[in-house]
Amino acid sequence: MAEEEKKFTKQLIGKTVVSKIGKRFGEVGDIIFETRSGELIHMVLASPTSYADKLELEKDKEGSILIPFSAVIATGDFVVIAEEDIV
């Protein structure tokens, strides 16, 4: 993985995840990626909100909520996701 990509993913950790209509999901706790290609697969939610819990989203073995990285539409102060792409 290129050094620039490593820096980018480290900057995402701890950012608040929101939908494009402003619903809060929690924070980015970790990122799951394909080791061979470096493709970002999922974000693991830390401190999920009750709203995120109610959606019954995909979870990992430890029970943490996973957000497909393909649902991310913008990053900045927040990570903005398209809610229709995850439900």
- Domains of the chain as residue ranges with CATH: 3-85 (2.30.30.240)
The pTM of the full predicted model, rounded to 2 decimals, is: 0.86
CB atoms within 10 A of CB 83: 16
**Could you identify the residue written with the tokens 């497909």?**
68
The DSSP bridge pattern shows strands 72-75 and 78-81 to be antiparallel
Distances (CA, A) of 32 to 21, 23, 28, 39, 43: 25, 23, 11, 9, 6
Residues in the chain: 87
Per-residue pLDDT reduced to its tens digit, 62-76 = 999 999 999 999 999
Which pLDDT value is given to residue 1? 47
Per-residue pLDDT reduced to its tens digit, 25-47 = 999 999 998 889 888 899 999 99
